[in-house]
Amino acid sequence: MTTSQSFLLANADAFIGTSLGVSQWVSIDQLQVNIFGEVSRWRKPGHCDPESASKGPYGGTLIHGFHMVSLLSHFFEDAVSRPEDASHSLNYGLDKVRVLQPVVIGDGVRLRSHVSLLAATDKGEGRRLLKTCHEIEVEGLDGHVMYAEYLAYWFPDSKQ
């Protein structure tokens, strides 16, 4: 963070436009991609069939874009930690997602997210809608592979 203040729902406005942190690396392998393909019902050869995908334009299977999107909540809490005065949050959706380049799984990849705060909207009674920017990188690749604006509806801790 760019300030010495603790990140709270009550002071989130002070953090708009700043980096909140960078998550730890998350390792993704072919087995996880296959499982994601099963549960999302998108088990296409380009994602889940290494032999077939090796003959395609990318030379291997790709991680699903939605698989990366599904990690946004994890990336937020890993990079930022939940606001100290919050009890919980609910997924409120996405404003923008762009898959900027394909990610070949190969022997596995490691992803992490650079998280910054774009907006904090007061919803009354201490509740806040936080919009965070996630720029996801893959170890060994230049540039970001995904840009996402994630919305989370946060509730204050009533014990604070």
Phi then psi dihedrals of residue 115, to 5 deg:
-115, 130
Question: Measured between alpha carbons, how far is 40 from 23 in angstroms, rounded to an integer?
Answer: 25
Read off the pTM.
0.91
Comparing CA positions, the residue from 144, 116, 147, 120 lying closest to residue 11 is 120
12-28+63-156: CATH class:
alpha beta
Alpha helices in the chain (DSSP H): 30-40, 45-48, 50-53, 65-69, 72-79
Would you give per-residue pLDDT tens digits along the chain (160 residues)? 444 689 999 999 999 999 999 999 999 999 999 999 999 999 999 999 999 999 999 999 999 999 999 999 999 999 998 899 999 999 999 999 999 999 999 999 999 999 999 999 999 999 999 999 999 999 999 999 999 999 999 999 987 5
- Token match 């030379």: residue? 59
